[in-house]
Structure formats: structure tokens, C-alpha cells
Amino acid sequence: MTKGSSPTDDGNFILTQEEEQQLTQVCADSSRYIFDYYGAKDFLHNTPRRILYLKGAPLSVLATPLIKSRLERIREFRKKSSKKSTIALSDYPAQFDEDRVDLGPLMAIPRVSSIQREYVPMGYFTGNVIMADATFQLPNASLAIFALLESKMHTAWLRMVGGRLKSDFRYSNTLVYNTFPIPPLNAHERGYLDRYAELILAARDENSSNETSLASLYDPVIMPATLRKAHMRNDKFVDSIYGLSDPSEEDRVAKLVELYQTIFSDKTR
């Protein structure tokens, strides 16, 4: 799991709807280099921006005046940076500063999420999206991993070991994801986790429209009944994997700490 990408472009890779239309009218090939772009707020509220990602773009695209003028502004912006690495990248204005783009299937996790939610709303994208560094991304994540991370077991771990930004959860790939203890899973258990993940995603789709966001779907007061039931079924099964039945938050934390200590002890022998 890594952070998303950081363009360091002063906004010049970002396109409005009108700018995208204008650009694709004068250079049809440029459409191959325009993608949905999600920061944490965009991701939670279903308001993706559009971004140029010019890796591998031919000179015929880069030389398009509407693109070249943006690259010139990026070059000048980076030259004024106090970071030597960013200044060096001014010679490569078509490249992102921190390029961690993966256009394949991925999970996305907002780095900051409301502590009032029972689950951190995580996305499951089939591909061709770019994540900003306000999100974490997990390329080629299995549905089973999605089910585990969208459980109350994982929320309990996050609540215990994760950071805070004011009163919100601050997710961490190193402190939360990398340390989350998962018991050995057999093929039968993985298959059930896949199925429960599919039920959660289906319940989201059932309750979604153009005006619906993950933030509203996971509002604890108005969370749709079908989505809540899908999560409850997933929670019950995930709890059973850890040997628990109808546990409290304290029960989950105790079991996770016990498993973590066992795993850590085995790795240090």
C-alpha cells in the first residue's frame, strides 16, 4: 500500500470540463492521457477531477499549444522550488514529481476520515483512475482484502493504533495496514470473504446515484439498511475468522493484540 501520486504542477495538469473539451477537439489523441483524479475529498464525495497524465505521450500531443503552455508553466513553477529534487524535475515538466500511478484495479483509502463512521469508506476501482497523495492505494487488491479492511475488526485496529487529525481518523499504510494482524486463511474462507465484499459493493451500487457519495452512504445516521446489513454479515464472518462471536470493541482489540503478539514473536525467533 502506498500513497497516491503528487504532480507538483501548481494545478496545471488539472483540466476543467470546458478545457478538456477544447483540448480533445484540437487534439483527439490527447483523450488517451486524461484520467479521473481523486484526492480524499474527491473520493469521499464522488467529485473526481480530470488530470493530464502524459507518461508515454508522443511529441505530437506534447507539442499541442494547449498542453505545451501548461508544461512551460510547470517548468517555471518547479524552478522556483526550495527542493533540489523538484528543481531538477523542471527539466521534465511532463512527468509527475512523485509518480505512483497504477492504472490497473486498486483499492483506495482516504488518509483522513471521520471518526463518527463505523467503517472507513474505501473504494474499489476497476482501473484507469489516478489517486492523489491524500489517499492510499492498494493495487490489485483482492475482494477478500477489501472485506477484511471494511470490517469492524479493522476499524477497531485503526482506532487503537492509527493517528488523529483533530477528531478524525488518520490512516497510515505503515502503522495501520502493515501491522493489521490477519490469521491464516484457507480457500473456503477467502471465498466467503470475496462473496461478502461483493455484497457490500452491490449494496453501495443499489443505493447510489449521481448525487450519492461514499460520505453519505457511510453516515451512521442515514446509512442505507441494505448496506448496513451487508456490512453486518461481513462483520459476523470476519469475527468468526478470529474465533469471536458477537464481540464488543474491547473483545476485538484484545484478540487483535493477542494475534499481533503471536505473529511478531514468530517473526523474531
Mean pLDDT across 165-188: 91
Digit-coded pLDDT (tens) for 195-220: 999 999 999 999 987 778 899 999 99
Q: What is the DSSP letter of 60?
A: H
Residue 213 three-state SS:
coil
Model pLDDT, residue 26: 96
pTM: 0.88
Cα torsion 123, 127, 128, 132 to 10°: value is 30
Q: How many Cβ atoms from other residues are within 10 Å of residue 247's Cβ?
A: 18
Q: What is the pLDDT of residues 223-237, one digit of tens each?
A: 999 999 999 999 999
Residue 268: per-residue pLDDT: 57
Residue 108: CB atoms within 10 Å = 22
Q: Is the pLDDT of residue 33 over 60?
A: yes
State the CB neighbour count (10 A cutoff) for residue 51: 24
**Cα atoms in the 13 Å half-sphere on the side-chain side of 44:** 19
Give residue-wise pLDDT tens across range 2-11: 999 999 999 9
Cα–Cα distance, 232 to 94 (Å, whole number): 46
Q: Please report which confidence band the pLDDT of residue 163 belongs to, taking 50, 70 and 90 as the band edges.
A: confident
- 8 A C-beta contact, residue 183 and residue 241: yes
pLDDT band at 30 (very low <50, low <70, confident <90, very high): very high
User: Across all residues in the chain, what is the average pLDDT?
Assistant: 93
Residue-level pLDDT at 78: 96
**pLDDT for residue 175 is more than 60:** yes
